[in-house]
Amino acid sequence: MNVLEKPDSAMEQRQHRQNYLNNERNQPDNRTDRDFDNGPIRQWSGKPYRSKQFLLANLTAENGVGIQKLTFDQDRDGAINFKYFNIDGNYADIKDVARHDGLSFEDWREWFKDCDLSQPLAVIHFSKFRY
């Protein structure tokens, strides 16, 4: 797969994102695009988690790859929900965020329904676009 090509399916895209998010939660949350100097993109050779991986591409910030921190804020009642969030301090339209992910807002919300929204999440960009 060429570095600029999209994954074959939305499910592959979601799986890559989920694997990254699981690993990102264990990393310090003060990384910036400048810190993104080596991003290996790998694919399983067979059954996931039971087979070897091979390298598809090694991406860097020079390729346009970057990470932004997504945090959900509390409403007046102290509840965290999808209405109040920011990406590196910028307030984007949640429907645009879902659309940029290739999903409807309903599908995007369903995808993240079991995430702990009190913890920061990573928005991974494979282009120069930033919120």
Note whether residue 5 is domain-resident: no
Element (H, E) at 125: strand 121-126
- Half-sphere exposure (Cβ direction) of 80: Cα atoms closer than 13 Å: 15
Would you say 16 and 9 are in contact if contact means Cβ atoms under 8 Å apart? no
Note whether residue 105 is domain-resident: yes
Note whether residue 1 is domain-resident: no
pLDDT at 127 over 70: yes
Would you say 2 and 59 are in contact if contact means Cβ atoms under 8 Å apart? no
Note whether residue 49 is domain-resident: yes
User: pTM of whole model > 0.75?
Assistant: no
How many domains, the chain?
1
pLDDT tens profile 2-37: 444 445 566 666 666 666 555 555 555 555 544 455
